[in-house]
């Protein structure tokens, strides 16, 4: 159910609101209020459909979910805008006047969220953190369970706040359970908390499996010659731009299709060659139609701080689409996929070119391709976002159960 955005103002009764829309009671009626979850995230809900959307849309089937994004600095007065996404998740955006100091931003967001809790009668709340930075303005809010879903090592990303490590340390001391987006991140975090569980990002197999049979290509794909090597995801400091340029320049008859937004890097720094095609961000629903037209899927990640702990969600998505995969030696990819032969690992331009050539041969040989596809399907049968979510729920229930037992013993 899509509802128009509504905004409330805090601290100035005479201020103009940014939007109008349904009352909080109307918003509340769209949820089963048996359980509440309030998530604090560094990612915009409508940016790229990834781990938060997969996980929280499943929670929204059972209870109310409030997804609090980072503040936007716009408007004349502090306000909190709320809208209900088609998934059932209520997307919440603090809006602060431009020029608001960091200290004032913390204080104002405390007031905004306290009022949201009161007006929406948020109860039995699970506080779900993707960004430790939110602890600055949420530590006083009532919760029953605190979850830190550590999907990335954010402190190593370009432009990370200097305070992030301190806030993460605080979050680790109060969290009831910690999930990590991959195995290497689990190994890094388990020394700091007694209840850490690896929850690698998963896949909706049927969604991407549609790429195996789709025949009608998007118009912008039809004009790109074959063979096509594809990448779908955020294009940022994690991409090895030099590797991409070297491979594309060495084999001009190959065409490289990059689907996704350019973030935190200058678009002008990207290689500009006739056989590299930047198609921009596409909706999650559109991705299978683009993957369908590729011959090989690529993960040309750089080896730097930002990629040290990543566990790319796109790996199983590529496999489900039926595309042979070539990746640089990202640790989680090597540990999970190299031994099975599902992903070819290469780091230098000559190695990458050879791996793509081998993948093209596999794709063109019906027998080899079917054998590879059977191995891919066997792997995919063991994972899904539903399974990941159920594993998370099991850990939450254990926390709740342990608290109930402790309370009964004290009583």
Q: How far is CA 328 from the centre of its chain?
A: 20
Q: Hey, which bits of 296-397 come out as E strands? A: 296-299, 325-327, 343-345
Mean pLDDT of 333-347: 92
Band of pLDDT at residue 405, cut at 50, 70 and 90: low
Residue 406 reports pLDDT greater than 90? no
**Fold equal for 6-198 and 205-380:** yes
Mean pLDDT of 285-293: 97
Pick the CATH number of 6-198 from 3.40.50, 1.10.1060, 3.30.390, 2.60.60: 3.40.50
Mean pLDDT of 372-382: 96
The per-residue pLDDT for 7 is: 56
The per-residue pLDDT for 134 is: 97
The pairs formed by 397-406 with CB atoms below 8 angstroms and a separation of 24 or more are: 399/145, 399/176, 399/177, 399/195, 400/144, 400/145, 403/144
Using an 8 Å Cβ cutoff, are 254 and 186 in contact?
no
Taking CA atoms, 211 is separated from 206, 289, 367, 375, in Å, by 9, 6, 20, 18
Q: Which is more confident, 410 or 16? A: 410
The per-residue pLDDT for 155 is: 86
Tens-digit pLDDT profile for residues 342-365: 999 999 999 999 999 999 999 999
Domain 205-380: top CATH class: alpha beta
DSSP letter at 306? G
Using a pLDDT cut of 90, give the percent of the chain over it: 80
Band of pLDDT at residue 340, cut at 50, 70 and 90: confident
The per-residue pLDDT for 371 is: 96
User: What mean pLDDT, rounded, does the chain reach?
Assistant: 89
| Cα 93 from Cα 74, distance rounded (Å) | 11
Please report, in angstroms and rounded to a whole number, the separation of the first and last CA atoms in the chain: 43
Taking CA atoms, 319 is separated from 180, 213, 350, 362, in Å, by 22, 14, 24, 14
Tens-digit pLDDT profile for residues 207-220: 999 999 998 899 99
Tens-digit pLDDT profile for residues 218-227: 999 999 999 9
> If DSSP codes are grouped into helix, strand and coil, which group holds residue 127?
strand
The per-residue pLDDT for 1 is: 34
Tens-digit pLDDT profile for residues 41-95: 999 999 999 999 999 999 999 899 999 999 999 999 999 999 999 999 999 999 9
Token code pair at residue 268: 């002008």
Q: What angle do CA 312, 169, 53 make, to 5 degrees?
A: 35
Using an 8 Å Cβ cutoff, are 75 and 18 in contact?
yes
Tens-digit pLDDT profile for residues 146-198: 999 999 888 888 788 889 999 999 999 999 999 999 999 999 999 999 999 99
| Cα 8 from Cα 116, distance rounded (Å) | 9
Total-model pTM: 0.86
**Domain parsing of the chain, residue ranges:** 6-198, 205-380
The per-residue pLDDT for 154 is: 87
Q: Which is more confident, 329 or 33? A: 329
Lowest mean pLDDT among 25-39, 104-118, 165-179, 240-254: 25-39
Residue 17 reports pLDDT greater than 60? no
Handedness of CA 130, 135, 139, 141 (dihedral sign): negative
The per-residue pLDDT for 379 is: 95
Using an 8 Å Cβ cutoff, are 230 and 294 in contact?
yes
The per-residue pLDDT for 28 is: 44
Q: Which is more confident, 405 or 215? A: 215
Handedness of CA 385, 209, 359, 368 (dihedral sign): positive
């Amino acid at each position: 159910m899509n509802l128009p955005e509504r905004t409330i103002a805090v601290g100035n009764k005479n201020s103009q609101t940014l939007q109008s829309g349904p009352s909080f009671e109307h918003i509340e009626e769209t949820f089963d209020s048996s359980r509440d979850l309030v998530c604090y995230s560094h990612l915009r809900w409508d940016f790229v459909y990834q781990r938060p959307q997969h996980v929280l849309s499943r929670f929204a089937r059972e209870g109310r979910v409030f997804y609090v994004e980072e503040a936007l600095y716009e408007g004349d007065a502090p306000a909190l805008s709320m809208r209900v996404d088609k998934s059932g998740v209520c997307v919440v955006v603090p809006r602060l006047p431009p020029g608001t100091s960091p200290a004032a931003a913390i204080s104002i967001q405390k007031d905004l969220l306290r009022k949201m809790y009161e007006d929406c009668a948020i109860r039995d709340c699970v506080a779900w953190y993707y960004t430790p930075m939110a602890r600055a303005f949420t530590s006083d809010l009532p919760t029953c369970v605190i979850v830190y879903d550590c999907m990335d090592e954010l402190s190593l990303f370009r432009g990370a706040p200097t305070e992030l490590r301190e806030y993460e340390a605080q979050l680790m001391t109060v969290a009831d359970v910690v999930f990590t987006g991959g195995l290497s991140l689990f190994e890094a975090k388990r020394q700091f908390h007694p209840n850490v569980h690896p929850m690698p990002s998963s896949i909706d197999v049927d969604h991407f499996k549609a790429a195996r049979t789709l025949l009608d290509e998007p118009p912008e794909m039809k004009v790109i010659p074959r063979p096509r090597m594809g990448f779908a995801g955020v294009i940022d400091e994690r991409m090895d731009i030099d590797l991409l340029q070297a491979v594309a320049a060495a084999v001009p008859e190959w065409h490289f299709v990059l689907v996704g937004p350019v973030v935190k890097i200058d678009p002008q720094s990207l290689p500009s060659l006739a056989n590299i095609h930047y198609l921009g961000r596409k909706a999650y629903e559109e991705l299978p139609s683009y993957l369908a037209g590729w011959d090989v899927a690529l993960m040309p990640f750089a080896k730097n701080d930002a990629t040290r702990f990543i566990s790319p969600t796109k790996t199983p998505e590529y496999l489900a689409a039926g595309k042979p995969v070539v990746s640089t030696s990202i640790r989680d990819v090597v540990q999970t996929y190299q031994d099975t032969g599902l992903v070819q690992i290469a780091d230098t331009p000559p190695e990458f070119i050879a791996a793509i050539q081998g993948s093209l041969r596999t794709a063109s040989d019906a027998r080899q391709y079917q054998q590879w596809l059977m191995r891919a399907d066997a792997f995919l049968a063991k994972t899904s976002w539903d399974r990941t979510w159920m594993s998370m729920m099991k850990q939450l229930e254990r926390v709740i159960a342990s608290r109930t037992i402790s309370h009964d013993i004290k009583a």
